[in-house]
């Protein structure tokens, strides 16, 4: 960090302009001895005082406005927070949304029009994932009838199957029948021909041909040797996964394996709830990949095969189960900077200059830190309460707080499953995010991140708060 940025960081966050105030009133030096004139004189003085006071206030206000224009630029600006999320009659964000209500998948335009029910059967749907061409939806499912379920699902996730719905043909195809194992987090290939799915919370991972329904790659792990989800390397026809603690690139069928790193973590064990997948996280160009080794966050240049430790895991007891100290949020559009949520730092939102290795702390935020699709904003929550939504403009580090609360995942505080799989909370045009009130019991909303206004998209109850995403 250079000297100038260091000096800026030391400035107070809430500078107070100093205004010298002078008394404009004349002091009455002569005592009033004529009782009958006291009231009359007091009224005259009071009237003059009010006139002088108003004149003084006008001059002071004018002076304040001038002072505001010449205040030094701070590294963070804090506009006055809105007292509450203000209602809007329309959504500024454009696009189409898929969501789950009463266990079924629905679609709706972002302006509230053209609401359609897509599925209707005996199964609950979850973990919906939309192909990049917007024509197919992959999802996990389990029976609505509790008597037909093979587990309760609270701490390990529901045992489930995997299906695909073709929106054009209005047909549903089962790829994995419901079975006493978890099939979670479906992820589409770039060409929409394949879907990967994480099996048994890390004891397996499958890559399936959507057309034939057959396995292209089937990784077998165990409780002593977990595997990661299978992800695609951007700009290539290769896949990437963690197997036997090796970070591997291969052809889609697993052939021609290349080991990029060893002793790599494939998942994060959680004290309550299912394991969190820890897949490799790639930059858009396919040059950089982030992963974990013993809880330490690493960043590798896959072209030059150079590997650096971005942040080491804390030795605190709370991190004894492979909780990382930091997790990647996203890279800048030019891939010169990596943005992190780093709990080891005083300000936990951090930007890493990849070329110099220097870190700069830019904000103190809470849960659910995500980057907008256009790479221009970060969205998080206030640190103290976790209730207010915070938007950080990455061009000038300015900050906007939107008072009010959207519910978030149990896992969001620790990076959650979202950072690797679902950059879908944002609208594709980066103008709005999807949010819920009371875990979906009061409907689905769209928050305009530019002015903190909120559009009530759906008022129906029982919206599944973990399963609403924008179409690409």
Instruction: Give the model confidence (pLDDT) of 104-142 as tens digits.
Output: 999 999 999 999 999 999 999 999 999 999 999 999 999
Two tokens at 73? 């630029």
* Tokens encoding 321: 């189960």
Digit-coded pLDDT (tens) for 222-231? 888 999 999 9
**Domain extents for the chain?**
31-66
Would you call 440 helix, strand, or coil by DSSP?
A: helix
Average pLDDT, the chain: 77
Of 212, 167, 165, 205, residue with least CA distance to 184:
205
User: What is the token pair recorded at 99?
Assistant: 């969501």
Return d(Cα 250, Cα 237) in angstroms, integer: 9
Tokens of 192: 């929409």
185-197 burial string, b = 16+ CB within 10 Å, else e? bbbbbeeeebbbb
Which residues share a beta bridge with 249? 240, 258
What is the three-class DSSP state of 420? helix
* 301/290 Cα distance (integer angstroms): 9
Q: Which residues of 450-466 are buried (b: 16+ CB within 10 A; e: fewer)?
A: eebbbbbbbebeebbbb
29: which 2 tokens? 């030096």
Q: What percent of the chain clears pLDDT 70, i.e. is strictly above it?
A: 71
- Over residues 12-44, the pLDDT tens digits come to 222 222 222 233 323 333 333 334 344 344 344
CB of 153 closer than 8 Å to CB of 96: no
* 146: number of Cβ within 10 Å: 9
Contacts of 116 (CB under 8 A, 6+ apart): 106, 107, 108
The rounded distance, in Å, linking the Cα atoms of 323 and 319 is 5
Best-predicted range by mean pLDDT (63-77, 152-166, 379-393) = 152-166
Long-range contacts formed by 61-70: CB under 8 A, 24+ apart: 63/19, 64/17, 64/19, 67/17, 67/19, 68/17
Separation between Cα atoms, residue 162 and residue 102, nearest integer Å: 18
Q: For the residues 268-286, what does the mean pLDDT come to? A: 82
* 389 alpha-carbon distance from chain centroid: 11
Q: What is the pLDDT averaged over residues 284-294?
A: 92
Where residue 171 falls among pLDDT bands split at 50, 70, 90?
very high
Q: Return the structure tokens found at 405.
A: 């609360």
Tell the residue number behind the tokens 């029976």, with chain if given. 143
Q: What is the DSSP string of 75-117?
A: SS--PPPBSSPEEESS-SS-SEEEEEETTEEEEEETTS---EE
d(C-alpha 125, C-alpha 186), whole Å: 12
* Radius of gyration of the chain measured on its C-alpha atoms: 28
């Amino acid at each position: 960090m250079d000297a100038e940025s260091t000096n800026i960081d030391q400035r107070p966050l809430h500078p107070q302009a100093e205004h010298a105030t002078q008394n404009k009133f004349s002091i009455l030096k002569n005592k009033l001895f004529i009782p009958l004139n006291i009231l009359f004189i007091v009224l005259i003085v009071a009237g003059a005082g009010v006139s002088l006071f108003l004149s003084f206030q006008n001059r002071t206000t004018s002076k304040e406005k001038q002072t505001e224009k010449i205040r030094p630029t701070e590294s963070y600006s804090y506009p006055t927070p809105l007292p509450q999320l203000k209602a809007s009659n329309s959504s500024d964000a454009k696009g189409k949304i898929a969501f789950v209500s009463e266990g079924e998948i629905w679609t709706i335009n972002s302006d509230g029009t053209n609401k359609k029910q897509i599925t209707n059967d005996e199964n609950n749907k979850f973990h919906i994932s939309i192909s990049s061409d917007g024509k197919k939806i992959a999802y996990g499912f389990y029976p609505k009838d509790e008597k037909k379920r093979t587990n309760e699902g609270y701490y390990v996730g529901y045992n489930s199957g995997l299906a695909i719905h073709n929106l054009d043909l209005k047909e549903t195809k089962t790829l994995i029948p419901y079975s006493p194992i978890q099939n979670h987090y479906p992820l589409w290939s770039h060409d929409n021909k394949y879907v990967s799915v994480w099996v048994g919370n890390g004891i397996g991972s499958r890559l399936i041909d959507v057309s034939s329904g057959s396995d292209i790659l089937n990784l077998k792990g165990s409780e002593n040797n977990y595997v990661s989800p299978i992800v695609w390397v951007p700009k290539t026809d290769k896949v990437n996964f963690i197997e036997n603690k090796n970070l591997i690139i291969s052809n889609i069928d697993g052939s021609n394996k290349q080991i990029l790193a060893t002793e790599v973590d494939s998942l994060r064990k959680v004290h309550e709830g299912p394991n969190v997948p820890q897949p490799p996280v790639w930059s858009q160009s396919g040059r950089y990949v982030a992963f974990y080794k013993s809880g330490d966050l690493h960043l590798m240049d896959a072209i030059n095969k150079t590997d650096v430790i971005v942040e080491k895991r804390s030795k605190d007891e709370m991190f004894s189960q492979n909780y990382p100290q930091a997790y990647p949020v996203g890279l800048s559009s030019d891939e010169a900077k990596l943005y992190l949520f780093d709990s080891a730092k005083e300000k936990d939102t951090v930007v890493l200059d990849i070329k110099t290795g220097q870190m700069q702390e830019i904000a103190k935020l809470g849960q659910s830190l995500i980057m907008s699709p256009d790479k221009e904003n970060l969205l998080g929550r206030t640190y103290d309460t976790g209730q207010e939504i915070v938007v950080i403009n990455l061009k000038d580090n300015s900050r906007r707080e939107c008072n009010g609360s959207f519910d978030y995942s149990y896992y969001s505080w620790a990076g959650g499953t979202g950072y690797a799989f679902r950059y879908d909370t944002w609208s594709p045009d980066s103008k709005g995010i999807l949010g819920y009130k009371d875990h979906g019991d009061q409907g689905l909303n769209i928050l305009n991140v530019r002015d903190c206004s909120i559009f009530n998209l759906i008022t129906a109850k029982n919206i599944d708060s973990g399963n609403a995403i924008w179409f690409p």
